[in-house]
Structure 1
């Protein structure tokens, strides 16, 4: 079996990658079983249907922009990120590489596309970005918010060691309580950001 046939068979049987070809009439001329399994929504094959049936309406323009580029430079792969119907009223995000295929006369024949689902990757990336933002906020609070009440508590404790005046001790104790409450509120704010 030659290399091209092996690659074609690999893509045809892959459970992770999608392989499709879209003819110049904008319909699917080839659809891998995995693509049908994920996007035909139990209605048989997508072969022969317009390419837009699986797409988020806003992403059709991406294909309309990339398609002509594929035929203008058929030796080059063109990337595209597209949202596809998930069958539950939502969308998954897919990453594709597309390439123009020419016939024996050098005329546009189809666009061959290989893609895969990147939804989980994007969700994880969003969670990591949110976690990084929370860590930045916590770091800021710790470096700025925590220092003041902590410095007050340490200073008041030092003053309490030095004073014997009952009225001054009462006033310092009240200040100590206020600083401790402020410190506690900051700790609670940090705890809430972690959850």
Structure 2
């Protein structure tokens, strides 16, 4: 049975083959209306199983078993888990093509359950009713005989691909198959022939009449006669062109992001709740391999990496668990370059990864090499210290002898230069000059980084 995507809410139609015990048709709106997936139908021969109370289900089953051919029962039931009340008109009919007994279910808003006969006044009316039902579907329906020729296609198929009945009916299915996918389609066809009743899924491109291509998704199953011989292959499909285009765009965006992430020298990685690597960019892989000699890989337990010591593993286990408990924070991690012995410093931020429900499923980590930044900071600190020393020397060591010199000069006899006292003052000036020279050397030495 085909698994369409959920569509708009509202009424839906279900066709169930009683003889084959399988669903033939399901409206897209069924999944939205009942809030279930296609797995529910694959696992249950009656779609109401598990959705209504046991006593309600038993009553519906009893009414269904009591139906006469071409008679219907209209009933109302309540979906407990969904808090929803629906009305189903369930009819027992005959498939005019296979002769099998089928149940037609039309489900709408809640009404009172009553029995009403459905008049089928002439042979073939059931087939006409089914074809009308089929043509109202948004999915494709085709039937292919055992020679691979189309025997039927519904209105949606013709409308989408632009063919007329004369273009399709009686022609081999390869007419709408691109050469690259011909072998794949042949394999599915043969699997249906050789495995009656088994559902075979197929995703391939189909040719439209105007030459355009459509991405399609199909489920094929063989149809057998009373003796069990395969008489036809039935396929139900849908147009997934837009979905594939969106998927391709998403992959392109993903590739672009991957390229961007892997072209940065920052380290980016993520771990799950069991501390296993979920993702690592190229820079992180290369750095860990360089530091430890052991290359990390996705799925590996980070605390079992052979290149890390037990102390490092214990430290990082604590870091990871803090993030897994919902804390966002940063640390500075120190490593030793195994080649030159240089100390390396990395600023690492830890960020919890949440689901839409708010549960933590992992931690994202971002590491940035700050070795050069710390080196520059250290140099700036040293430079500032040297400037402070210069200021201190200028304030104390240099100003004191300069003040002495100015005082001695003011004591000199400018009128009589050969005054004996001038000789003593000049001697003191030589002493002060030596002190100034010493102070200047201290200033010069303080400007040079050691």
TM bucket (normalised to shorter chain) is 0.7 to 0.9
Alpha-carbon offset, residue 153 of structure 1: 1.1
1:87 and 1:32, CA in 2 relative to 1: closer, same or farther beyond 3 A?
Answer: farther
Measure, in 2, the Cα distance between the counterparts of 1:176 and 1:104: 84
Measure, in 2, the Cα distance between the counterparts of 1:59 and 1:153: 68
Matched, 1:131 2:380: no
Q: What whole-Å deviation, never above 9, does each CA across 1:62-98 have from its counterpart, x for those lacking one?
A: x34432331222xx63212112342323431111221
* Greater shift in the superposed pair: 18-27 or 105-114: 105-114
Matches within 5 A, 1:52-91: 53=307, 61=315, 63-73=316-326, 77-88=328-339, 89-91=341-343
1:97 and 1:170, CA in 2 relative to 1: closer, same or farther beyond 3 A?
Answer: same
Measure, in 1, the Cα distance between the counterparts of 2:312 and 2:422: 69
Matches within 5 A, 1:5-154: 5=254, 8-9=257-258, 12-41=261-290, 43=293, 45-47=295-297, 48=300, 50=302, 53=307, 61=315, 63-73=316-326, 77-88=328-339, 89-101=341-353, 109-154=361-406
Measure, in 2, the Cα distance between the counterparts of 1:138 and 1:156: 26
| TM superposition score normalised by structure 2 | 0.37
The Cα RMSD (Å) is 3.2
Confirm or deny: 8 A CA contact 2:288 2:295 kept in the other structure: no
Measure, in 2, the Cα distance between the counterparts of 1:90 and 1:26: 29
1:176 and 1:54, CA in 2 relative to 1: closer, same or farther beyond 3 A?
Answer: farther
Higher alpha-carbon Rg: 2
Measure, in 2, the Cα distance between the counterparts of 1:186 and 1:58: 51
Aligned length: 191
| TM superposition score normalised by structure 1 | 0.79
Unpaired runs of at least 5, structure 2: 1-248
- Larger strand share, 1 or 2: 2
1:30 and 1:40, CA in 2 relative to 1: closer, same or farther beyond 3 A?
Answer: same
Measure, in 2, the Cα distance between the counterparts of 1:124 and 1:7: 34
- Larger helix share, 1 or 2: 1
- SS of the equivalent of 1:41 reads helix
Larger relative contact order (Cα-Cα within 8 Å, sequence gap ≥ 6): 1
Confirm or deny: 8 A CA contact 1:11 1:32 kept in the other structure: no
Unpaired runs of at least 5, structure 1: none
